[in-house]
Chain A
Amino acid sequence: MENKINFTIDGNPIQANEGDNLVTVAKENGIFIPSLCYFEHIQPPLGTCRVCTCKINGKYQPACTERVSEGLVVEANTDELKDLRRALVEMMFAEGNHICPACEKSGNCDLQHMGYELGIASVRFPHLFKDRIIDYKPSRMVLEHNRCIKCLRCVVDVKTKEGKKVFTYQDRGNKTYVGIDYEQEATLTEDEAMRAMNLCPTGAIIVRGKNLSMPFGQRKYDENSVQKNFNEKKRKPKTSLNMEKKIVATCSLAGCFGCHMSMLDIDTDLLDIIELISFDKSPITDIKKFSHRCHIGIVEGGCCNDENVETLRAFRENCDILVALGECAIWGGVPSMRNSIPLGECLEEAYLNSTTNEPGSTIIPYHEDLPKILNRIYACNEIVKIDYFIPGCPPDGNHIWKAIKNLLWNEEYNILYSEFKYD
C-alpha cells in the first residue's frame, strides 16, 4: 500500500505518495520546477546542475534529490529562486562556448530550451571563453567539449555490455571535462550510441552522420513549451499620440548586419516609426559622423578591431541610452568562435591556408590604414557601459521596436514567447 502524505508547494496543498520525487510530484500537479540533470530512471538522482534548487523547509535544496514527506513546506517559484535558477543556467552558457546557430542540437537542446523557459535575455556573467577541444577520435561519436554542462548523465548511464563506463570525468575544478574511452566506445552498438546522444541534454555528444536528421521547425522544443501563451496571436500595442520625435543612431561592428535587417523587417510599421524618429549616424542614412546628440544608440556586433572600439566609444559619448542589439553585441556571438583560438592561427587559416587560396599567392594584410585586429572579440559591455540588451540572433523586428519604444516613450509592451524564440 502506498502511503499518502500531504505537503505544500508555494502554499498549494498537495497530496502524494510518500517518498516520491519532488520534481515529478510537482509536475503531476502542474507546477513547473526546472531541471536539467534529473533523469527519472537514474537512481539516486545526480544532483549536479542545481537548477531545480528550491527552498525546502527553509533550506536551499535541490528538488530532484528530495523525497516528499508529510508536512514538507516547499517554496518552488519565488522571485529569488527564479533568479537563482536563471543565474545557474547563465553560468552554463558563460562557462561553455555555446554558439547555437552553429550547433547540431539547436531546437533539440535541453539547455537552450531551459534558457528560453527561464526567460534568459542576456548572461550576467562574463563569458569565460576557455579553450577546449572537439574530440574527433572516437569511432562513432564526436565529443564537443565546449557544449558539455557536466550533468553526469552520460557518466552514470552509458555502459558497455560488460558494464564498463564509456565516459568518466577527468581533472577537477573548472578544468573538469568528460573523458571518453575510445576502446569502450567502439564496442557500443549504433543504438547505444544514439541513446547516448539523446540522453545528453546538450549538443556535446554527437553521433556521426546522425546530427541533422530532423528539419528545423519539427524539433523537440520548436512548438513545445510550458508557457501558456506560446501560440497566442500577437497584439498590436496601442500607440499613444503626441509622442516627441527622437534621434537615433545605429551601427554594426563585428556583426553580420542581420540585426539591422531585422530592424527593417516590420513591414508597414516602419512608416510609423519614420514619423517618430530621425536617424543620425547610421548605415540606414549613411551619415558617417555624429551631427547631434542622440537619445538612443543601437549597436550591433561586438568589437573585433581597434576601429570598432573607437566607434563604440563615440556612441557612448554621443548617446544618452546605449543598447546592445543581438548576441554578437551582447557577448560576442558567432565571431567569438575565434576566441578560444590564438589570433595567429586564425589569420593564417583565413588568409594563407584556406582552401580557396592558391598556396603562396596571398598575404596577411597589415597596413597602418587598416584597422588592427584585437586578440579576441570583446562584448560591448567590456568596453563601455551598456544600458540595455536586446537578445536574439537576430532579434525579432517587432521585439526590437517594442523595446525601443518602451525606452524612448515609456510605451507599455509585452513580448510573446514565440517572438522570443529564435532557432
Chain B
Amino acid sequence: MTDVQDRPGTSGNAEQVDHVVIRFAGDSGDGMQLTGERFTTASAIFGNDLATLPDFPAEIRAPTGTIFGVSAFQVQIADHDITNPGDAPSVLVCMNPAALASELDRLEPGGMIIVNSDEFDERNLTKAGYTENPLENDSLVGYKVILVPMTSLTKESVKPSGVKTRDAERSKNFFALGLVSWMYTRPLDSTLDWIKERFAKTEMVMNANILAFKAGHAYGETTELAGNRYSIKPAPQPAGVYTSINGNMALAWGLVAAGQLAKLPIFLGSYPITPASDILHELAKHKSFGIRTLQAEDEIAGIGTALGAAFGGHLAITTTSGPGVALKSETMSLAISLELPLVIVDIQRGGPSTGLPTKTEAADLMMAMYGRHGESPLPIIASYRPSQCFDAAIEACRIAVKYRTPVILLSDGYLANGSEPWLLPDVSTLPDISTTFAAEPNHVNEETGEPEHWPYVRDPETLARSWALPGTPGLMHRIGGLEKEDGSGNISYTPENHAHMVQTRAAKIAGIAKDIPEVEVTGDVADADLLVLGWGSTWGAIITAVDRQRAKGRKVAQAHLTHLNPFPSNLGEVLRRYPKVLVPEMNSGHLAKLVRAEFLVDARTSSKVRGVPFTAAEVEVAIEAELERKL
C-alpha cells in the first residue's frame, strides 16, 4: 500500500519528500481553481493527506492580465497528518506576469517557479506593472525557475482535436496540470476520467483537454525537467472510505443528515451571498430528501420564511454571510421570543460592509453573540475544519430542535472553500436528534373547564417549551413577539413576568452547557506556560504551531472551542490553570474579550485581518512573543 513505485502514474528516480506546498496562480479566466481542485482530488485518491486554500478575486472576470484579476489555489500534500494548507508554498505555478508579481513574495526562499513564459510579452508585463521582464533580469535569482512555453505547446498539442485556434489555448491549465502531475508523480486516471465526464457533451473540448493534459505530462518526461521529480507517499490514515470535501459541501450534507436524524423535513430560506451560496445550491439539489429550498427576496425573507416553516414543524435553516446576518437580526430575536428551532448559518467573510467578499475573516463572533436587540441569548456553534462542518451542522440542529431556539452556526470563507480528505462516517452511528410534538392539551381552562394548549409549558430539565403544530386538533394557540406569560403564552406586561421570562430564556441557553462536551486540552496539559485558545478555522494553523513549539522544547497547551455560547462548563477552570492565555483570531480579539469578561483572565489576542488565514509560522511568532512577555 505504501510502496509508491507500484502505483500507477509513478516511476522510478523520483526524489522522495514528505510534503509539498504548491500554489497555482493565473488570471481569473485561466482555470486555476479547477486545476488546483483536480490536483487535489488526484492526490487525495492517491492517499496523501492534504489541505487547500482557494484564493480568488471578487470580480467574476476581472480585466485579463491585471494583478487584481489573479486567482490562486494553494494546496499542501503530505505523507503524514496535516491540518492546514501550508505556510509558504515551495512551488509556484505562474500562468502570467501578474501572477508572478502578485504571488512571488509568498514563495519560500529557494522555491521553485514554473512559468508560462509565452505570456511574458510587453503587453502583459506592462499590465502587471513590470518595466523589465523579470525572466530576463536577475530579479528571480535564488529561485529555481522553470520556463515552459505553455501556451504555444498547448496550441500545438491540441491540434488533432480540431478545436479552433482561438479556443486551443484555453486548455493550457490542463497542460500545467499534466506537468505538475508528472513532477509530483500523481496518478493520471482520476483526472482523465474526470475530464471525460465533465466535457462529455463537447467532445472536441474534451479531447483538447486530454491532449493538453497528456502533453504537459510528456513534457516533464522528455525534457531536462527529469531532475525535478518528486514522490510523496500516502499518509497513514485510519482504514475506511474517504472522500475529498470542502466546508460548504460538508455543511450542506450535515444539514441533510440532520433532517434525517431529526426525522423532520428541511426547509431552507436563503438569499444568495458569497461565500454561502453553495449551500443553497447543494440543498436545492436534494429534493428527494424532502428538502424545500426557497430563494427569498432578501435575507429578512430568508429567515422569515424559515421561521414560518419552523412554526409548521420543519427543521428550518437560513444560510448567509455577515451582511445577511445583520439583516436577520430582528427575526432572530423574534425566534428567541417565540422559542422555535431555527439554524442561522453564517459563512463569515471580510467586513465591514461588502468588505472582502471572497476572502476569509472571523469577525462576526460579537455580532453572533450580541448583535440583537433586547436580552436575546442564543447558542453559537463554530466549525473548525472543512470536514467537521458536517458534525457542526448536526450539532447546531440538535441544539435548535431540543431547546426550541435559534442557533447560529459560524463557518468562514476559508473553511467553506478549503477541502481535505474525510473519512466518511457510518450513518448508523450518527446521533438521533429527533423530538416530539405536543399531541394532547396540556392545561384545563379555569373558567370554562375545557382542555386547552398552553404553548409555554416547559420541560423542567431543558426548559424547552412544548411544540404544537398547526393542524393538530384542540391545540390551537397564538404566539407572538410581545412578552408573554410563562405557561399560558398570553400577553403579559407585568414587571415580574418580564424579569422571569428574561431569566428563563437565558437559563435555558446557559443550561445547554450541561449537554455539550467539556473543552479538551492537548499538549503540555499539566505544566504548560501558555495555553493557546482558539475557535473556528484557526485550528489547523494553531495545532501545527503548537506542535512545532513543543518540538522546540517550549511548554504549550492548546484548547479549541466548538461551542461559543454557552461555553463548555470547564472552560473557566481550564483558562485559570495556565499562567498565560493566547487567543489567535481572524478578528480584532472577539473571543479574548468574551473570556476576559466571563472569566476575568488576562487572555491576549493575536489578531490577523488580512483576508487570508493564519499560517502556522505566524502563530508560532505570537506564541514565542507571548512566552517571552514579562508577567
Tell me if chain B binds chain A.
no
Q: Which residues of A contact B (CB under 8 A)?
A: none
Q: Which residues of B contact A (CB under 8 A)?
A: none
